[in-house]
Amino acid sequence: MNRLTYIGLAIAAIVIIAAVFAPWIATHDVTSQDLALRFRSPSAAHWFGTDGLGRDVFSRVIFGARISLEVGITVVFVSTIFGTFIGAIAGFYGGWVDKILAGYIFNVFLAFPGLLLAIALVAFLGAGLGKLILALCIIGWVGYARVMRGQVLKVREYDFVQAAKALGAGNMRILFTHIMPNAIQPLIVQASLGMAGAVLSEASLSFLGLGIPPPAPSWGTMIEEARQYFAVYPHVLFFPGVAIALTVLAFNFIGDGLRQYLDPKQRTR
């Protein structure tokens, strides 16, 4: 794996540690306001300064990691399970099942710009963590389904699968013990890139006011709140901005590195 992958892994580890140990790392309560302390610059008392309501930006950024990862992990987990299942069915059974799933349903989901579909769903359903996760899963699963379908189509023609079939192995056994382990690698790459996408989408929707409502310290919401005072107090926007960028960058680095590592053609290039 290349150097950028290790950098990605290191950043991801820091973000995960921040999320898990947020209550111990945060120096202040994330919701307690003190208007006398509005827009303080970074100092020993407030490492990243304070925001427009006098809240500690460092503590909010740390707790923001929790929201981002919570959304990211849930979305990736649910989308992977569902997408893998549908993709496996499409690839394994082929014929009409594949024509309807891959030829039509995948195309419909890919036909919507992802963010727009999420915006539309949240606009009609209403904002909230659960609805946001649901919307992101609805746009996310199809990527995994496509990868899985492609892998199944490829692997099912291999000799060992044909041999298992000839020995009388059932469809489920062939799918789970022979095909699945061979399709895992590209799914891991997809999940890593999907994690970056989910974190970014959560922040984008929260920025648009369609994600997790305030006062929850979502990075997207923090940026939206900081935007109007940005010209005078740039630090309020800078830190959550860097946090999002680094987290997304880390998962992109990991996904990219893994793809190159797992694909011999790209490794030599």
CA distance 85 to 155: 16
59 HSE (CA, 13 A, CB side): 18
CB closer to other proteins, 95 vs 168: 95
- Rounded to an integer, what distance in angstroms lies between the CA atom of residue 86 and that of residue 149? 8
CB of 239 to other proteins, least distance (A): 11
Q: Which is nearer to other proteins, 4 or 16 (CB)?
A: 4
Residue 78, number of CB atoms within 10 A of its CB? 17
Which DSSP symbol is given to 40? Answer: P
Residue with Cβ nearer other proteins (147 or 193): 193
Residue 247 CB, shortest distance to other proteins, in Å, is 9
Closer to other proteins by CB, 174 or 212: give it: 212
Give the C-alpha separation, 12 to 154, whole Å: 32
DSSP secondary structure letter of residue 37: G
From the CB of 44, what's the least distance to other proteins, in Å? 26
Residues in contact with other proteins by CB under 8 A are 4, 103-104, 107-108, 111-116, 119-121, 123-126, 196, 200, 203-204, 207-210, 220, 223-224, 227, 230-231, 234, 237, 241, 244-245, 248-249, 252-253, 256, 269
Instruction: Pick between residue 22 and residue 196 the one whose CB is nearest to other proteins.
Output: 196
Residue 56 per-residue DSSP state: B
Q: What are phi and psi of 56, to 5 degrees?
A: -75, 120
**Widest Cα–Cα separation across the chain:** 77
How far apart are CB 13 and other proteins at their closest, in Å? 17
Please say which residue, 84 or 252, places its beta carbon nearer to other proteins: 252
- At its nearest, how many Å lie between other proteins and the CB of residue 95? 18
Burial 46-68 (b: 16+ CB within 10 A, else e): bebbbbebbbbbbbbbbbbbbbb
Phi then psi for residue 187, to 5 deg, are -70, -35
Q: Could you tell me the smallest distance in angstroms from the CB atom of residue 51 to other proteins?
A: 15
CB of 191 to other proteins, least distance (A): 17
Q: Output the CA torsion sign for 57, 63, 69, 72.
A: negative
**Among the listed residues 245, 166, 231, 135, the one whose alpha carbon sits nearest the alpha carbon of residue 199:** 245
**Smaller CB separation from other proteins, 54 or 128:** 128
